[in-house]
Amino acid sequence: MTAFNLLDALPKLAVPIAVGIAFGLFRKYFPSGRKRPQSPAPGDIADDFTGTNVLVNGCMIVLGVGLAFGLYKLLVAANLRFAELEGPARFEILPTKVIWWFLPGFAALCLSWEITLTLWSLFGDQDRIARFLEWTHARAGFNSTPVLRWLLHSPWRLPRFWLCPCTLRCERTKCAFGNMPP
């Protein structure tokens, strides 16, 4: 049996520490505007959004999964199409398909909240939606809408070569690297 080594435990602790710091910063820079809600009084059923929260979360999961798979299929098809546009080749080495999951997954996490609220606002009561948003932000301790919007734009701040993988094409006389369009 080996002794506890801090260097082995540090990577395992990094994610919870980073999440805790992020939530602290979100609460500081994106305040909810109200204190955390107490449990509702017995007669205050109108502001109890527990059932609505379950429905909204279910819709977000369905929309997020659909969005992630749809965008993934679109990116893989675009990857193959761009490779075909370069002309015939003896063989092609395309980037692994796993690389195309990052942006659809990230978009699904960030956009499912906005899409769910937009669809609900088309058919629902605007006052109830506003109260639900206040209730949600108070429960979280910060206003999640601008946080998700900020996170949605953060992948585009990455360097271009992280987002646009290269392809290798070998023809009869030469091999060349291709780059996906920006």
For the chain, the helix, strand and coil percentages under 3-state DSSP, each to the nearest 5: 65, 10, 25
More confident residue, 170 or 134: 134
More confident residue, 19 or 94: 19
CA end-to-end span of the chain: 52
Find the angle CA(73)-CA(76)-CA(78) to the nearest 5 degrees.
105
Q: Where are the alpha helices (DSSP H) in 86-180?
A: 102-123, 126-140, 144-153, 160-163
What are φ and ψ of residue 28, in 5° steps?
A: -75, -45
Positive or negative torsion for Cα 154, 98, 76, 58:
negative
Per-residue pLDDT at 58 exceeds 90: yes
Lowest mean pLDDT among 77-81, 102-106, 164-168: 164-168
pLDDT at position 45: 43
- The pTM of the full predicted model, rounded to 2 decimals, is 0.65
pLDDT band at 50 (very low <50, low <70, confident <90, very high): confident
pLDDT at position 90: 66
- 104 exposed, middle or buried (CB, 10 Å; 0-12, 13-18, 19+)? buried
pLDDT digits (tens, 9 = 90+) for 80-131: 887 777 777 666 666 677 778 888 888 888 889 889 999 999 988 889 888 8
- 40 exposed, middle or buried (CB, 10 Å; 0-12, 13-18, 19+)? middle
pLDDT band at 7 (very low <50, low <70, confident <90, very high): confident
Region 4-23 average pLDDT: 80
More confident residue, 60 or 86: 60
pLDDT band at 1 (very low <50, low <70, confident <90, very high): very low
DSSP-derived letter for residue 95 is P
More confident residue, 119 or 140: 119
Nearest CA-CA partner of 158 in 93, 95, 102? 102
More confident residue, 75 or 159: 75
- CA distances for 53 relative to 49, 60, 82, angstroms: 6, 10, 42
Give the C-alpha separation, 150 to 145, whole Å. 9
3-state SS class at 175:
strand
Mean pLDDT computed over every residue of the chain: 76
3-state SS class at 172:
coil
